[in-house]
Amino acid sequence: MAGSGDKKLVTKLVMAGDSNVGKTCIVSRYTENTIPSYISTVGIDFKTKTIQIDDTELKLQIWDTAGQERFHTLSVSYFRGAQGFVLVYDITNPNSFENTSLWMKDIKMKAGEEVEVVLLGNKCDMEDKREVSKERGEKLAWEHGIPFFETSAKENINIENAFFILSEAIYAKRSSLLIDRSVVNLQESKKNPSCLACR
């Protein structure tokens, strides 16, 4: 727990990537240590998790977007004002890997060139169905200059690491972060996505 003199900051993170790659499961694993039974995301929701870095309590506001094409415009509209992205593909689905380049373009267009991104090759527990090698993931991440992890929301592999690396990178540029204005504001921003607290 942070002491009374500690700083409190809040940051907006957004999950991006094709439908069915495991974005919702990754968020649930990280924030609640469970994975839900399958329900495709149809709108936008966020969960929060607070971590401590140095003398700062950093509240991560993690927005889970829908990957389905029909929700693309809505999902991408939430990219604006985010400080970090978790860009996910599924190692058993080469299309989802190829599409990360398109997602990356959307991210840069809406959130700027300097935004922090971590690339995740999810479902690494499904080695027998693998269609995207780890080397391809590493190469793509290297080309974009971003960190890369193979993860499993199911087996809880590298989920915590991925969010921590992303959070640390954002924290290093902390002048852009909002001072935490309490959970009430978070609830308000959930009801009203144009609210300043989520920008």
Is 159 a binding residue for ligand GTP by CB under 6 A? The answer is: no
Sort strands 56-64 and 45-53 into parallel, antiparallel or unpaired: antiparallel
Q: Which stretch binds ligand GTP (CB under 6 A): 44-52, 149-157, 168-176, 191-199?
A: 149-157
Is 185 a binding residue for ligand GTP by CB under 6 A? The answer is: no
Which of 9, 13, 14, 41 binds ligand GTP (CB under 6 A)? It is 41
- Give dist(CA 91, CA 64) in Å, integer: 20
Is 186 a binding residue for ligand GTP by CB under 6 A? The answer is: no
Is 20 a binding residue for ligand GTP by CB under 6 A? The answer is: yes
Written as six digits, the tokens of 176 are 């852009």
Written as six digits, the tokens of 62 are 């993690």
Q: Which stretch binds ligand GTP (CB under 6 A): 35-43, 77-85, 99-107, 164-172?
A: 35-43
Query: Under rule CB under 6 A, which residues in 106-135 are in contact with ligand GTP?
Result: 122-123, 125-126
Which of 152, 158, 167, 189 binds ligand GTP (CB under 6 A)? It is 152
Which of 31, 56, 68, 99 binds ligand GTP (CB under 6 A)? It is 68
DSSP secondary structure code for residue 91 in this structure = T
Is 63 a binding residue for ligand GTP by CB under 6 A? The answer is: no
The structure tokens 């780890």 sit at: 134
Cα angle vertex 16, ends 172, 66, to 5°? 140
CB 17 within 8 A of CB 100: yes
Handedness of CA 79, 164, 170, 115 (dihedral sign): negative
Nearest to 11 by CA among 194, 192, 191, 172: 172
Q: CB-based contacts of 24: which residues, under 8 Å, 6+ apart? A: 15, 36, 39, 41, 64
- CB closer to ligand GTP out of 41 and 167: 41
- CB closer to ligand GTP out of 12 and 23: 23
Q: Which stretch binds ligand GTP (CB under 6 A): 16-24, 50-58, 77-85, 112-120?
A: 16-24
Is 22 a binding residue for ligand GTP by CB under 6 A? The answer is: yes
CA dihedral 64, 65, 66, 67 (to 10 degrees): -110
Contacting positions for ligand GTP (CB under 6 A): 19-25, 38, 40-41, 66-68, 122-123, 125-126, 152-154
